[in-house]
């Protein structure tokens, strides 16, 4: 049976425990064996990591050990999938560049903070977004520094809220993207400030598909 590891922690405002349970439910419904932990010690054993089908980090900020990050990166490069959302994957472990290189982006701002009304637009026919129409969200709108190697499948438009970024003019910011890390598939979705943003409707379907797409087949 395919095995998934979900590890959660960090800033409590993102409800990492609730988001982790949501992801576990979707993966179990898809027939996967799921381990959920609130410790980063799960990254200590390279052999166990390499035996997984999927790693799902749900950590905002916090710190990861250098060897732990390298073990996770090696596992993904060997073919283990990596998937996550919002700050739980791309605002985790801000001081670890290996993590940022692997995940493909780093959060830097959310102008207007929570409760910004914005549209998510599909921009490809990739299987993670195909048939899901554009939709509106009221949440944090993530401004990311993004790896130019990623394949973008959904975007949002900046600026919605005025700020020092506004004089640069309109910017299409990735919301959903995929990339390769060695033999592994990496999926990221910028939605998910709290569980109620991604537990229903098209946002939920985007995230559910992304988790399953990334998992090693």
| CATH code (residue 195) | 3.40.50.880
Q: Which domain holds residue 48?
A: 3-214
Compute how many other C-beta atoms are within 10 angstroms of the C-beta atom of residue 66: 10
pLDDT, tens digit (0-9, with 9 covering 90-100), for 1-29? 999 999 999 999 999 999 999 999 999 99
Q: Tell me the per-residue pLDDT of 47-74, one tens digit each, with 9 for 90 and over.
A: 999 999 999 999 999 999 999 999 999 9
Mean pLDDT for all residues in the chain = 98
- How large a percentage of the chain has pLDDT more than 90? 99
Q: What is the pLDDT of residues 96-135, one digit of tens each?
A: 999 999 999 999 999 999 999 999 999 999 999 999 999 9
Sorting pLDDT into bands at 50, 70 and 90, what band is 146? very high
Say if residue 217's pLDDT is above 90.
Answer: no
pLDDT band at 176 (very low <50, low <70, confident <90, very high): very high
Per the structure, the count of domains in the chain is 1
């Amino acid at each position: 049976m395919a095995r998934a590891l979900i590890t959660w922690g960090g800033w409590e405002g993102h409800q990492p425990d609730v988001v982790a349970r949501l992801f576990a439910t979707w993966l179990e419904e898809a027939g996967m064996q799921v381990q959920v932990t609130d410790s980063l010690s799960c990254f200590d054993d390279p052999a166990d990591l390499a035996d997984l089908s999927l790693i799902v980090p749900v950590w905002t900020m916090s710190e990861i050990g250098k060897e732990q990050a390298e073990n996770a990166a090696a596992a993904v490069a060997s073919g283990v999938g990596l998937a996550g959302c919002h700050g739980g994957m791309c605002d985790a472990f801000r001081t670890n560049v290996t993590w940022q290189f692997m995940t493909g982006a780093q959060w830097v701002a959310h102008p207007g903070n929570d409760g910004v009304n914005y549209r998510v637009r599909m921009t490809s026919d990739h299987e993670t977004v195909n048939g899901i129409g554009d939709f509106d969200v009221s949440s944090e709108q993530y401004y990311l520094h993004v790896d130019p190697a990623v394949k973008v499948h959904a975007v949002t438009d900046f600026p919605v809220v005025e700020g020092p970024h506004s004089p640069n003019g309109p910017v299409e910011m990735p919301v959903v993207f995929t990339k390769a890390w060695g033999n592994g598939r990496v999926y990221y979705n910028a939605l998910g400030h709290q569980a109620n943003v991604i537990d229903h409707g098209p946002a939920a379907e985007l995230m559910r598909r992304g988790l399953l797409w990334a998992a090693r087949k």
